[in-house]
Every structure is written in structure tokens, then in C-alpha cells.
Amino acid sequence: MSVGIVMLVHTALGRAVQVARHWARAGCPIVIHVDKKVPTQAFEAFREQLIDDPLIRFSKRHRCEWGSWGLVAATQDACELMLAANKDVRHVYLASGSCLPLRPVEELKDYLASRSNVDFIESATTADVPWTVGGLDEERFTMWFPFSWRNQRYLFDKFVEFQRRLGLERRIPDGITPHMGSQWWCLTRQTLSAILQDPRRPKYDRYFKSVWIPDESYFQTLARLYSTNIESRSLTLSKFDFQGKPHIFYDDHLKLLRRSDCFVARKIWPHAERLYDAFLGDRTGEANRMEPNPGKIDRIFAKAVERRTRGRAGLYMQSRWPNYGWENGVSAGKYSVFQGFAELFTEFEPWLSRATGVQVHGHIFAPDRAHFAGGQRVLNGALSDNAALRDYNPRSFLTNLIWNTRGERQCFQYGPHDNPKINWHFARDPNAQISVISGAWAVPLFKSNRDFADLRTEAAALQKIEARMLDELRHPDAKAQTRIWTMAEFIEAPMEPLQLLIDEIGQKPSRRLAEAPRLEDLTGFGQFLQNLKNQGMHPHLMGDFPVEPAPRHGQRPARKPYLVKK
Amino acid sequence: MGVWQSYRLRLQRRRWRIRAFRKRRDLRAIANRTDQIKPSDILVVSTARNEGVRLPYFLNYYREMGVDHFLIVDNDSTDGSLDYLAKQPDVSVWTTRASYKRARFGVDWMNWLQMKYGHDHWCLVVDPDELFLYPFCDTRPIRALTDWLDASSIKSFGAMLLDMYPKGRIDSEPYLPGRNPLDIAAWFDAGNYTISKNPKYGNLWIQGGPRARMFFTDEPERAPALNKIPLVKWNRRYAYHSSTHTLLPRGLNLVYDEWGGEKASGVLLHTKFLDTFSHKAQEELERRQHYGGSKEYLAYASGLKENPDLWCKWSEKYINWRQLEILGLMSKGNWA
């Protein structure tokens, strides 16, 4: 009882010699197929190195183009030779020249001996697998593929399209159901010889010759006809990335490969000295009877593919520059934008900071500079507060700020004084929580001691800008979580919305607000608005403000007469 | 991009190639060891002027990375670097007294050397003050990267320029030959880079970092470009367009993903800000051989007199490539 190795070799012949010797040392018969594309001289030199070993044979050479029939033909010939020349071989293991045995060969032998009638071949129907490249799954069995995908891509694509359009369909031979799976399998003599000696084989071969990537479906399909006991998994650890090419193992994967407990891994970088030394060296004394467990490696490679296809949300950098709408996260984390709050309440920022425990900035898009929390001139990531640098690319400024402080929620103030270019970027960002008290910009004007004519001009300008901002926030494509109150609405009952916002920021456990922010003294504000109106400017964003009396929640709440004082 | 635009870029590329061919006459070979170059060798291509103090570390850094041969143009050095380079067994060196500026800041020379010797090789174009980092560079030689790029059918690899600076005055600690410049210039800005896309050439335009923060607050648009594509599987039909920022054909500039994913990328640690800098800035200011009327050096010279400390509270201290990966300055892409 033993296992025979069929090795398909096309590059890194030096490594193939090493691996073949390794198998042979353990007493495994080997049949090597060398791609016909390898120059004769190189092939002869390669054979010269191994010819002295009676366990090693060479099979008829075929030209192996990726995804073509050649690979199957090569495998067939090599397996026939293997079965004919080694009567005691019970399992045939298909490996490549860049495969590396990770565990002592004895363990593989024992493992297979105790599963003497099991065929290890990954084999699934096309409907059930997500790993097809190029969008062809079912169709690879029902179309003709006379052109090479690698070298004649244009013709390949055109011909596929042509067949789709005409609805051409090839008949699948009776009795077989197309299956696909990893090219690297381990079959029993029984199953393999049944496939190779089947009287219908010429018919099947003819069919599979024009299936696309037959090396992933020929044996996978036919094994289903004869095997009594299929384990649909490959004993070879082989991971594919999103382009369908195998991940490569390097020296730094040594620990990972050791812990995987897989029998064979592919594919190994030919210059990975440490791996070859470690796994082909003397391994006596290492006892290991574990089942293969490639979970950890799976996760690492799955993550790599995700990094390549989805990237890190909110990151804009030299190799990730998503087109508009393809950001997969406009920014790296949640943040809150407050418009009008700092104007309406005195000391709003410190209050918010106390209430939520998060970093609260001032107007970071203010015309003079970015007002970072605590008056800092530079923030995380060495982000400068310089207005010119910021306004040169406000979007980068915002995404940088959020990326640099990821994991820490940011709050900042915004308003019609500030750089308006950034407004749309908040508006379309689902991470933004935007709260606007419209018209609150009038409070500082009202408090200021300036000529009324100036105030009137400025009020008109600010109102126009804010109206445009609100339009953007209400745009159907806006995705931010936006709340807009008119000022009149807000001061009716300020605590409710504040409680809501703070609960949403949700840093501290939710409880009733212990301390309310102090509202600016608005006595006379109604009259101020009326004056603006009288001057022909129509302030509408703050809602309906009565001229008199002063708002209810003003500075001097009426003392509750029933409050008992000690 | 229309047919017309495409045709114009093709003409431009031809123009740069013809120009490079003509500028070959600027170069005089001092040590031409290019016959040692084997078909699969990885090459470093560089221009240097009075960088003698940096050369020992520079050459060793790339030798250890697995680079096989160096092609260096010495632009009229007066510090003996030419002799030093000519003695190195794996360096081919040319000398020129011609104008750096009129060779389009050395690009014509680089294009010529690569056209002549770099065809079908992976070529890394770096200055002596630039240290290339790529994912897994601490455990895998550069050939692992180029093999992987070959297998993935990727022809160009981007690496952003990351300005490194010391804490305290730039001239407080002298740099000596052979020393790791990162021992002194160990700090960098992690997250203040602005990016926009150049629609004509398809490359990203990255600015920011300490230079923008300190020297270009008045004119951020003039801040130096930090996007670079230093590693290319060269073909004699390719041409660098403006420094290593842009290549033609423009498809090579697409080193970034546009659909939300991340391509693999590296970083060029730029160790310009050592004690040698102030002197150099002064000299370059007199020579006026640098880009944009040496505006950059003018800005440095004035900026450095006022406040020579680039360090700030939020500067990040360099540890390794993984740190830069986590900070989002480079990416592993799908290389694992």
C-alpha cells in the first residue's frame, strides 16, 4: 500500500528536483510531467539529475497552456504510467512542481492508509460555487472555447458573446453532471483507473477538450461517476485570490504553514529558502496526527482579498482613490456637525464635551483657521489648522481628520460663515450626524455692536448661504442623518432635541442630562428680526419669532412658587 | 479619453524618447559594467550630485533588498562621489557637467539609461536620499515583490514620498557616511496629505506633509508633489514624463484602485532633512537648477531661518512598514 505522486512541472525545476527527491526518499513512486514549453536542454539537465532514482519516471510531455486541455492530457498520461508501473500504489496524489509537502510523508501515507477507499477531490456543481473567474460558470460547459484566454483575450470574449447572442449550446454527454473544484486531488487506484479505462473515455475527452479550464472539471466530474466515497476537499492547501491566481507562500509564512497541519501547500515562491529548508529537511521526531486545519491561512488570505476589493472605509491614499459613489464609506467613522448651536448657547462646546466625553471642535471650516478643540494648532496626524492648506482641498481635510481620529468620535461646529464647499460632503456621508438650528447665525449679529446697514447686508448674505446649505442637506441623494429645526422651533423646547442628539453620540451611558447649556439672552431678538424686515430684508430661516414678548425660555425663568426652600 | 488626446500623448511620449536619445550625449561613462546585467536582474537608476556622504548607506540598503545593479548619473559632483561610485563592483556610473534643468531635472538621462539598459527589467528609480519600502520588505526581498507583480500582470508600482525629519533643529545632529539616516530623521506626518486626480495623465497628485505644513501655507498649490511611481517593469517604449511622478503611456499611472479597493503600494522614505540640507538648499538656490525656478528651495531657505524645527506634537516616529500600512500611507493590497 503506498501513495504515488504525479508531479506537473513547468518552472523552478531546481525546486522540483528537491521536492521529487524528498518524496522518493520516503519511498513514494513518482511520475513527473514536464511542460513541453520547457526547452529541451533544460529538460534534459533536469532529467539527468533525477534519472538515477528508480522510483522516478518521466511521462510523455504535453504543451500546457493555462486553462487548456494539455494539463488534463498530461495528467492522464502520467497517471496511466503511474498505475501501470507501480502495482502497489493505492492512492495517486496530483501535485505541482511548486507544491511543498508540509508534513512528513509517513504521515500522509498513514493518513491515506486508514482511508483506503476515500477519494480526496474537491468537486461541486457549478451552481454552488462562487469562485469562477470571468463570469463563466455554467457556460464553461456549454460553450466552445477555441481561443486562448491568456493570449487571445479579444477573440475569446467576442466568441463567448457571439455564442451567447445566438444562444448556441453544446450538449453535455449523457450521464455526467459537470462538477468543478481544485485541480489538486488525491484519487484511489480504483476510481482513477475507472476514469482512465472507461470505454466512453474518447467521448468524454472530446467533450472536455473544448470545455474551458478542463483541469478543474475533468476529474472532478468523472470521479462522481465511479467513486464510492468522495471527500470533497483537497489535501493540498491552495488559496486563490480575486483574479483566480494562487496566493504564494514566502519565508514569513513558515509558522502559519506549520500550524496549518496540511499535507501539501501550493504555491511556494521558488526563492523561499527557509520554507524549503524547514519542510524538506530532517523532520524525524515530529509527531503530528492532526487533521489538516487551514482555517487561519484561509482568514489571512480572505482578508487580503477583501483589502484589495473593498479596502478600508474612509481611507484615501496613493493606491485607493475611489470614484465618486464607490467609496465604500465616505469617511472612516461617525461624526457630528452642529450648525447654529454655538451661536444660540453660550459655552456650547465645553458643555457638549462634558455631556458626551468626546472631542468637540469649534468651527473647523472657519475663514481664519480651523478651530480645533482646546485651541490646538495641529491635530492628530499633524493636520494643520492653516486655512489656506485646508481650503486648498477641504474634502481631504475632512476625510483626513476623521481617518486620523478613527475610533474617537469627532464633533464640530459649522455654519454659513464657513467654507461652504464641504457641505455636500457631509450631506452625502452616512457617517455624518448633522443638526442644524436654522437662522441661529442671526444671534451673533443681534449681539454685535455694528451699523445696522452692515448687519442687514450680512444677514442677507448669510441667509442665502444657509438656505443653499439646507437645500443640499435635503437633496434626495443626501445620506447623512440630518435634523433641521428653525430657531423658533428649537427654543420652544431645547432639551428634548439635545437629549436625543447626545444619546445618539452615545459615548456615555444614556441618562437624563444633568446640566443644560445656557441659552443666549434673546430679549429683543424678535424686535431685531422685525427691524431687518422693516429694512426690506426678510429673515425666514429662524421661523416665526414673535416681536414681543421675549421667548419663554429666556434668561430669567419664573421662579416656581411651590418650591420649598430649606 | 478621445482618440485625439490619446494621439497627442503618444506624440509627447515619442518626443520625450527622442529627447532622451539626444541627451545621451551629455553622459560620459566612467565605469560601464552593464555587461554584468543578467536578464532577470533588478536595477536601481539614480542621479546624484554631491551626495557622497549618503552613498555608502544608499548602496547597501538596496543591495540588501536584493537589487542587482546600479545605474547612476553623477551630475558634476565635487565631493569625490564619482571615484567612490566607479570603485563599486555593481555600479555603472556616468558623469555629466550638463545642465540638470535642461535634462528636464534628470528625467532625460534616466529615460535614456532605462531605454538602453532597462528594457524588460524591473527598474527602481530613486534618489540617494530616498529609501524604498514595500509590504513585507523586512521579510521578503524585492524579487518576491517583482515576481508577484509579474504573476499579477502589474507593470508599475506606486510609492508615495514620505518626508522624514528629525526632532529639533535639522542641523543639530551631523550625518556621517554609512549611518542610517532614519536614526536622525525618524519622524513623519501621518495624516495631512491632500489628493486630487490629474485627468490628463490619470495619475494622482498628492501634496502635504511637513513641507506643505511649514513652507507652503501661503501657496499650498505650489507644495511639492509626493506621488511617485518608482518601480516599473521597463519597456524601451516607456518614458517618465515629469520626474517619477508621471509615466507614459498613461496606463502605467493607474497604480490606485478606483472602485473602493486598495492596490498594493509602497513608500519612499525621503531623508532630505538632515544637517546636510541647509547647505544644500543654499547651494541649490544659487544654482537655480530645480523645478519651478527653485521656488521650493526659496521657500525652504526663508522657512528654515525662521523656524528650523519641522517636528510637532503629532509627528509620528517611524517604526516599520507595518506601521505605515496601519496608518494608511501604504497598502498590502491582496499580497499576503
Q: Residue A409: is its pLDDT beyond 70?
A: yes
C-alpha to C-alpha distance for B128 and A458, rounded to whole angstroms: 55
What's the average model confidence in pLDDT over A410-422? Answer: 94
Question: Mean pLDDT over residues A247-270, rounded?
Answer: 90
Question: Is B334 among the domain residues?
Answer: no
Residue B318 C-alpha from the chain's centroid? 19
Yes or no, beta carbons of A311 and B336 under 8 Å apart: no
- Whether residue B259 and residue A322 make contact (CB cut-off 8 A), yes or no, is yes
Give the residue from B22, B326, B333 showing the smallest Cα distance to B191: B326
Cα–Cα distance, A497 to A341 (Å, whole number): 11
Q: How far apart are CA A125 and CA A128, in angstroms?
A: 6
Average pLDDT over residues A158-174: 86
Longest alpha-carbon distance in chain A: 110
Measure in Å the smallest separation between the Cα of A319 and chain B Cα atoms: 4
Whether residue A42 is contained in a domain is answered as: no
- Under DSSP, is residue B7 helix (H, G, I), strand (E, B) or coil? helix
User: Averaged over A526-539, what is the pLDDT?
Assistant: 89
- Residues near B19 by beta carbon (within 8 Å), at least 6 away in sequence: B104, B108, B111
Give A1's pLDDT tier (boundaries 50, 70, 90): low
CATH number at residue A477: 3.40.50
Q: Which of A207-211, A551-555, B87-91, B132-136 has the lowest mean pLDDT?
A: A551-555
Q: Is the peptide bond before A239 cis (omega within 30 degrees of 0)?
A: no
Residues of A in contact with B148 (CB under 8 A): 248
Of A379-383, A530-534, B69-73, B128-132, the one with minimum mean pLDDT is: A530-534
Range in A236-240, A397-401, B163-167 with the lowest mean pLDDT: A236-240
- The stretch A362-391 carries a mean pLDDT of 94
Choose the mutation target among A309, A319, A397 for the interface with B, i.e. most B CBs under 10 Å.
A319
pLDDT in tens, B6-16: 999 999 999 99
- Between CA B268 and CA B244 the distance in angstroms is 12
Query: How high is the pLDDT of residue A554?
Result: 47
pLDDT classification of A157: cutoffs 50, 70, 90: confident
Band (A504; pLDDT cuts 50, 70, 90): confident
Closest C-alpha to A88, from A211, A189, A157, A14: A189
B335 lies in some domain: no
Q: Do A383 and B191 touch (CB under 8 A)?
A: yes
Distance from CA of A541 to the nearest CA of B (A): 35
Beta-bridge partner residues of B269: B131, B162
Residue of chain A with shortest Cα separation from B333: A308
Confidence of residue A181 (pLDDT cuts 50, 70, 90): confident
The reported pLDDT for the residue numbered B237 is 94
Share of chain A above pLDDT 70, in %: 93
pLDDT, tens only, A126-155: 777 666 555 667 788 888 888 887 788 888
Residue A302 lies in a domain: no
Could B256 and A320 be called an inter-chain contact, meaning their C-beta atoms sit closer than 8 Å? yes
| Domain contains B93 | yes
SS3 for A179?
strand
Residue B73 within a domain:
yes
Cβ contacts of A317 on chain B, cutoff 8 Å: 160, 193, 195, 262, 265, 328-331
Q: How many domains does chain B have?
A: 1
Q: How does pLDDT run across B168-180, given as a tens digit for each residue?
A: 888 888 899 999 9
Angle at A276 between CA A272 and CA A278, to 5 degrees: 115
The pLDDT of residue A287 is 60
Domain of residue B232: give its range. 3-326
Length of chain B (residues): 336
The yes-or-no verdict on residue A53 having pLDDT over 60 is yes
Instruction: Tell me what pLDDT residue B285 has.
Output: 73
Show the DSSP H helices in A3-152 as ranges. Answer: 13-25, 40-50, 70-85, 105-113, 139-142
Q: Give A275-320 pLDDT, tens digit per residue.
A: 999 998 866 555 666 777 888 888 889 899 999 999 999 999 999 9
Distance CA A15, CA A6 (A): 15
Helices (H), B54-102: 55-65, 81-87
A540-554, B143-157, B207-221: range with highest mean pLDDT: B143-157
Tally the domains of chain A.
1
Please say whether the dihedral angle defined by the alpha carbons of residues A499, A503, A509 and A510, taken in this order, is positive or negative: positive
Specify which residues B78 forms β-bridges with: none
Inter-chain CB proximity B265 and A321 less than 8 Å: no
Q: Is the pLDDT of residue A177 over 80?
A: yes
pLDDT more than 70, % of chain B: 94
pLDDT tens for each residue of B213-233? 988 888 899 899 999 999 999
Q: Do A319 and B315 touch (CB under 8 A)?
A: no
d(CA B296, CA B212) in angstroms, rounded, equals 10
Burial category of A199 from C-beta neighbours within 10 Å (exposed 0-12, middle 13-18, buried 19 and up): exposed
**What ipTM does the predicted assembly reach?**
0.93
pLDDT at A552 over 70: no
Query: Dihedral of the CA atoms A46, A47, A50, A54 (nearest 10)?
Result: 170
Nearest CA in chain A to B327: A404
- Mean pLDDT computed over A373-389: 93
Q: Is the pLDDT of residue B167 over 50?
A: yes
Contact across the interface for B260 and A388, Cβ inside 8 Å: no
For residue B334, give the nearest of A308, A317, A381 by CB distance: A308
**Domain contains A388:** yes
Q: Average pLDDT of A239-263?
A: 86
Q: Which tens digits make up the pLDDT trace of A55-107?
A: 999 999 999 888 789 999 999 999 999 999 999 999 999 999 899 999 889 89
Residue B196: strand, helix, or coil: strand
Q: Residue B270 above 50 pLDDT?
A: yes
pLDDT at B286 over 80: no
What residues of B are in contact with residue A402 (Cβ under 8 Å)? none
Whether residues B314 and A381 touch (CB distance < 8 A) is answered with yes
> Domain range spanning residue A355?
335-521
